[in-house]
Amino acid sequence: MNWWKVLLTWPYLLLIYLKMGSMTKKVLKDPAIVPESKRYVWLKKKTKYIRWLYDVKIVSHDIENWPKHKGCVLVANHQSNFDFIILLSLNDYSQFAPLGFIAKEELKQNHIARRFIFLIDVLFIDRKDPRNALEVFKEAKELIRNPGRTMVIFPEGTRSHAQTMQEFKPGALKLAYQAYVPILPVSIINSYQIFDKKFKGRKTIHVVFHKPLEPQQFMQIASVNLAKQIQSKITQGIEKWDNNKEN
């Protein structure tokens, strides 16, 4: 983060922080108090300011592959906590279903994250309780179908903090089988650099949207093989844009 930018705009940053807290309290009391569309649009607008604070440029590739106006399961690699901001900033609600996320239970304890995760559809998985995952996937399936969501899953299960990926967990893909919706593989490149002090100056993050897999293409494929297939596709996107010098 560029601290001079924080000092320069701290009243605005404080206003955002307080506004998020206020909206979250209202939503937890009654979601209807703050219309869903208002919450999503408000958060998307604030991602522009956050990207400016961290001096981040986002370049999307083949975003037209994102299914229009219908739910899907977005499967991406996970390099840093900034990945949520990156995907939110690219989510055009006039074209694509709003984003929802499946995240680890521990995120609820993060005092900053708590101020915005309840403003959108974030479902939490307790990794110590296998039955919990079944319930979460059931709820996620309903969100994808009605009112329509792009549910984001990071099959690595945790951040890699590197360009290389950890092995995808096949169980994370069961949601796509259950919901019978397209899988959208997405490569996120260079986001690990944002919080790494070794990388100075502006960071260019590339996001590659690969061609979606329709249910008919993967329903008969074992989840283990499907995970390897999707990870291979995401790896191709990473390798193409790794160490790219564009800024």
Specify which residues 74 forms β-bridges with. 152, 184
Domain ranges of the chain: 57-241
pLDDT above 50 for 247: no
Residues in contact with 188: Cβ distance below 8 Å, sequence separation at least 6, in sequence order: 76, 77, 78, 79, 83, 86, 205, 206, 207
CATH of domain 57-241: 3.40.1130.10
pLDDT of residue 3: 85
| Distance from chain centroid for Cα 210 | 15
pLDDT, position 86: 96
Integer-rounded Cα radius of gyration of the chain: 18
Q: Length of the chain, please?
A: 247
What are the pLDDT digits (tens) for 174-205? Answer: 999 999 999 999 999 999 999 998 998 999 99
Instruction: State mean pLDDT over 100-106.
Output: 86
Q: Which two three-digit tokens encode residue 94?
A: 């006039």
Per-residue DSSP letter, 123? E
Confidence of residue 1 (pLDDT cuts 50, 70, 90): confident
DSSP 15-44: HHHHHHHHHHHHHHH-GGGS-HHHHHHHHH
Give yes or no for residue 130 having a pLDDT over 80.
no
- C-alpha separations of 170 from 21, 128, 155, 159, 175 in Å: 36, 17, 7, 17, 10
The residues near 213 (Cβ < 8 Å, ≥ 6 apart) are 182, 183, 185, 230
Collapsed DSSP state (helix, strand, coil) of residue 186: strand
What pairs with residue 72 in β-bridges? Answer: 150
Residue 126 contacts by C-beta under 8 Å, 6 or more apart in sequence? Answer: 105, 132, 133
The residue-averaged pLDDT of 9-29 equals 92
